[in-house]
Amino acid sequence: MRPRLRLQAAALAGAVAISVVGAVIWSRTVADGGPVPDDDVVMDEPGEYVEPAAATNPSMAGQRLPDVTVEGADGVARRLQPDGRPMVVNLWYSSCPPCTRELADLAAVHAAVGDQVRFVGVDPYDTAATMTAFAAERGVTYELWRDPGFDFTDALGVVGMPVTLLVDTDGRIVHQQGPIDDDELRALLDERWGLS
């Protein structure tokens, strides 16, 4: 009986030790919200996080602009409705590198044809102060709207930004594109509405 008792005691001690080690590991991962970083970790291959690209968005051509509430830079809730002019609607945010690159181009085209085409920037991520300051640094003077609840963005099914939408006078999306530059936007406006 004694060898059997010793075996049971050893098994019990082993189970307790495993439980203690498991509890420590669990407390450093799950209970604290995730794994504890290890300074000695090295990636096998360098890389960087990549946001979903605009190409992952569903086709929006033919859809009407969503009839949802967005927020002006002044904090006032509004609905993005057509005003009788064709529209360029750009979904963007400040920490999106391709969004950053295209803002100055959008501003330049707006400066050239903004009296004939309504330009609107919709930002679902930034605060009003960040959005307006960041855009102003790139020459943007057109309307800037926030989508803090992602109502507009989700209604369109947008997962990758930037996205630029050409919208007809009746509020129907006639073209969508991912990152765009000055020349591409001018060509699209010329093709669609004879503007450049």
Strand partners, 78: 70
**pLDDT band for position 18 (50/70/90)?**
confident
Residues 17-33, mean pLDDT to the nearest whole number = 61
Superfamily classification of domain 54-193: Glutaredoxin (3.40.30.10)
Q: Which region among 8-22, 34-48, 92-106, 146-160 has the lowest average model confidence (pLDDT)? A: 34-48
Q: Which residues contact 173 (CB under 8 A, 6 or more apart)?
A: 60, 61, 62, 63, 64, 65, 165, 166, 167
CA end-to-end span of the chain = 96
Question: What pLDDT is recorded for position 42?
Answer: 55
Q: What percent of the chain has a predicted confidence (pLDDT) above 90? A: 67
Mean pLDDT of the chain: 85
Question: What pLDDT is recorded for position 49?
Answer: 46
**46 pLDDT more than 70:** no
pTM for the whole thing?
0.72
Residues 34-42, mean pLDDT to the nearest whole number = 53
* Strand locations in the chain (E): 69-72, 77-79, 87-91, 118-123, 143-146, 163-167, 173-177
Higher pLDDT, 9 or 165: 165
* Residue-range domain boundaries for the chain: 1-37, 54-193
Strand partners, 143: 120
Residues 115-126, mean pLDDT to the nearest whole number = 96
Phi–psi pair at 26, nearest 5 degrees: -60, -45
Question: What pLDDT is recorded for position 57?
Answer: 81
